[in-house]
Amino acid sequence: MILRLSCALQRGEIPKASLLKTRDNNIPAPVLLLNNRLNYLPQGCPEMLKKIFRKKKSSQDRSNSAGDIVNVQYMCIEDKERCRSVEPVINPTYVLRERKNNDEIEIAHFNSATYVNVDKKRPCYENLDPPTPTTPLTSVLSENMNNRRIYDGIWQYNSNRRLQPRSAATIPHFEACDANQIQQDQLKDITQQRWFFGYLGRLEADSKLNHTLPSTFLVRQSHRDDCYILSVKLVAGPVAHIKIEKGEGYRLQGSYKSFYTSMSSSSAPDISSLLSLDPYLSPFKTHLDNLYSNYQHTRDRILSVSPSLEDFANSYQEFGIQIQTDNSVRCREWAPNMATLHLAGDFNHWNKTEYKFVQKEGEIWELVIRPDQNGQCKIPVGSDLRFFCEDKQGNKFDRISPWARYVTQGTRIYFNEVFLPSPQFEWEYKAPLPPRVLYIYESHVGICTPEPKISSYVEFADTVIPRIAKLGYNTVQLMAVMEHAYYASFGYQVTSFFAPSSRFGPPDTLKYLIDTAHKHGMIVLLDLVHSHASNNTTDGLNSFDGSDSHYFLSGPAGQHEQWNSRIFDYTNTATLKFLLSNLEYWVSEFKFDGFRFDGVTSMLYHHHGANYSFSGDYNEYFNEYLNQGAVNYMMLANEYLHSRYPNIVTIAEDVSGFPGLCRPVREGGVGFDYRLAMSTPDLWIKLLKESTTDAEWDVGNIVHTLNNRRYKEKNIAYVESHDQALVGDKSIAFWLMDREMYTNMSVLSELTPRIERGIALHKILRLLTFGLGGEGILTFMGNEFGHPEWLDFPREGNGESYHYCRRQYNLPDDQLLRYKFLERFDAAILTAEREYKWLDQGNGYIYLAHEADKVIVFERGDLCFTFNLHWESFQGYRTQVKSPGKYKVVLNSDAEVFGGQNRIDQNTEYFSYTEGDKFFISTYLPSRTALVFKLCD
């Protein structure tokens, strides 16, 4: 049963109010008029009203009001069946009263008053006192109902100072989404988000709205052809406020300080573990409870339409263009705004009308192409395919399937889908177990050779993987695998989410690459882009069905201004199906061992982290900018992946330091295994850019930045990634040595002060970062040997040149060049970590960060790390150690084999001495040298 409830007042009469209950759920809702249609009734009550009971309140009750109080009871006779489901009641608890001195109405609760203020120019909720435990706030805000209802009501005063509804011609309507795009299963999405406006707008909801108030509300407001943006604030404390204001987008953002205990929420089963690890989260427990509740509701919503999460995530086997066992081809697409849909291609000479889809249940479109008379598939392998579409607005366009598994550009500037049923790939090697700690080699297949060209999956597998396995890396992180029309986007403007980039070879060659990595004992991570999508339409996901939304948010909220891309609607069930299926696809079809989630900061917050500085104040995380829909998706993704694939690895690219990001979902966390320590490369680049002398290096700030991370949340430490190497910036080595890398990197040339300093500091920065900065390490390809210059993809601005779009592995291989020293030291770091295992020994303990001497000493595991960043050497330096005994140097950056001056005799034994309850050794610290000491007895 659907009830449609509208608010109205009779012109010229005293304001009236009533409460209606439905027998189905027995939950009261303040309304003024029951009607079967969505409209406003400025001309008085319709004929459908049979009775109006007016009853004056007692003088005792009236004393609480500022004006006349009337309770009104309505009965509907237009629909007898519906009438049986509606019980008119007179509830003395709620009254409608008119204030004489200003433009507002009050809805008063005798126990704790509730005010709903309606301004002529701007409607708003204000001064909303917490309801009593027996009167949930949901009853006041028209939530918590089992039947779909629509509430309308924006009021203004007429010339006689009497309340009346604004005319239907001028009143704006608040819509959960474009009315033409609402599908049945989206009603549950709307319910999940708990979009509501009560007397100020229209609520569309379906079932079981028995949740805590959300932090975000997504509503589209349209008035004729104009669109407006509203923002919502819900701030609870002694008094709660909901304020609706005009803004500049469709996203209604809510902020909240706490939640009412009368509204249902549930804590994560092990949330006490999270709170014990981070006591500063305790004041925000209600926010964590709300996130977990929303996650549970999202999960339950999925399970209400799918037998299991696994079935839900296997939708990639159902959608798109699929060849069947009988050689028929089945095409299936979700396209709510589509009016007609056809498939054409080489196989039918691009006849755009021959093969027409039919609309099935909901907004699903389906086409089945039977095999020919010989039982063969009518679409030959390698055929170019496109969809030819017309939307409900009459616009005609062509698209490729969102689920396309292989697309090529060919001679056209845009991609066509290629019909390429994948043969059964013969996997030879079993994926290794996840390593104890990750040594990640961040890679881009297209730039993996010294030649100025686009390299292939096979070239990477045959040349790079053996090379980095020999160096000691145990993890490959592949960038730019998901298809992207614009090569210079570095793979971050994805156009086809299920298609491995065809630039590097067909899909089976990617499988060969991954199989080769497994052969060498390495796991492979996919650089996953679920934070946004390319705004391309002809060959992208954007506007697939001609609408502004589809898988994305509509209006400005669906646009990422900084990246010129589209933002997913993570509250949409169809979007969740698409994204979860994408995860399942890459793991099950290509055997990826995990994911590095790109742009997590952008996902976490509605402001996307743009021009926002995070100081560590927890109020910066739990406020109106938190994108609960995206957080729920990441929780769902991590929980699904880790439950289905226990050995999976997930990494979050987050610069904000969001608490609980790398704690299990059962604790109330988001579920990632690692986060990237993104502040570290920023630290080094800032030092190199802004410091004119080494004396300006603040060693205290260096140590603080490297060691500052959330307890028991693992970080991936790195000196530089692809971001620092892009055009407009330079690699760390080039910042240190600059143009002299062109002339003085040969061992036959002069070792200039700049080259000597650069090589020494390059080694120190890497060991210091890997020693103190995290629980795993990452190197962008080529940086292990100090790759010169920068990275720039072919584009119009550089004449489509590939000169800077390659990795010069020939440099460290040339024994006459000094690059070999840096590569050897990088391998020595990995060898030392494998032997002494410091990365999984918790944070380092800082003994010394001496500003004048530029000396840093810390303990981690059983090792003592000592760094002299000074340009002078120190004799007999007093160095604190963990335990008494004999120490020896196990790693020395000044060794000749690493391009150093060999000023340390590694056979020297250092005996500790005691001062009070502390232990020290006396050491020689050469300038710009790193030493690692190990207790030998």
* Residue 677 near residue 773 (C-beta atoms within 8 A): yes
Cα dihedral angle (615, 616, 621, 624), rounded to 10 degrees? -40
The tokens for 150 are 């629509």
- Kindly report the backbone phi and psi dihedral angles of residue 863, in degrees, each rounded to the nearest multiple of 5, phi listed first: -115, 150
Please give the span between the terminal C-alpha atoms of the chain, in angstroms, as a whole number: 80
Q: Let me know the angle formed at the C-alpha of 680 by 675 and 685, rounded to the nearest 5 degrees.
A: 140
CA distance 687 to 778: 20
Residues in the chain: 937
Q: What is the SS3 assignment for 1?
A: coil
Count of beta carbons in the 10 Å neighbourhood of residue 307: 8
Q: Identity (one letter) of the amino acid at 566?
A: R
Residue matched to tokens 């204001």 = 245
- Per the annotation, the verdict on 598 as an active-site residue is yes
Give residue 399's Cα distance to chain centre. 26
Cα separation values, 664 from 300, 315, 634, 856, Å: 19, 26, 11, 34
- Per the annotation, the verdict on 653 as an active-site residue is yes
Q: What is the SS3 assignment for 180?
A: helix
CA distance 47 to 442: 72
* Catalytic pick among 189, 593, 653, 720: 653
The tokens for 394 are 């009459």
Among 386, 376, 384, CA closest to 331: 386
The tokens for 278 are 């981070």
Q: What is the SS3 assignment for 342?
A: strand
The 8-class DSSP code of residue 279 comes to G
Residue matched to tokens 């650089």 = 527
The tokens for 32 are 């003024």
Cα dihedral angle (45, 50, 52, 53), rounded to 10 degrees? -170
CA-only gyration radius of the chain, Å: 32
| DSSP conformation letters of 411-436 | TSSS-EEE--PPP-----SPPPPPPS
The tokens for 179 are 């009315």
The tokens for 86 are 């509606």
* Residue 104 near residue 199 (C-beta atoms within 8 A): no
CA distance 324 to 329: 6
Burial class (CB in 10 A: 0-12, 13-18, 19+), 133: exposed
* 475-479 vs 523-528, strand pairing mode: parallel
Contacts 24+ apart (CB under 8 A), 59-62: 61/92, 61/95, 61/110
CA distance 197 to 242: 10
| Cβ-proximal residues to 384 (8 Å cutoff; 6+ apart), any chain | 345, 346, 408, 410, 416, 417, 418, 419
| Cβ-proximal residues to 650 (8 Å cutoff; 6+ apart), any chain | 594, 595, 596, 597, 637, 638, 641, 642, 671, 672, 673, 674
* Residue 931 near residue 892 (C-beta atoms within 8 A): yes
CA distance 263 to 298: 18
CA distance 855 to 869: 6
* Catalytic pick among 104, 527, 598, 713: 598
- Kindly report the backbone phi and psi dihedral angles of residue 659, in degrees, each rounded to the nearest multiple of 5, phi listed first: -70, 140
Cα dihedral angle (801, 805, 809, 815), rounded to 10 degrees? 50
Residues forming the active site = 598, 653
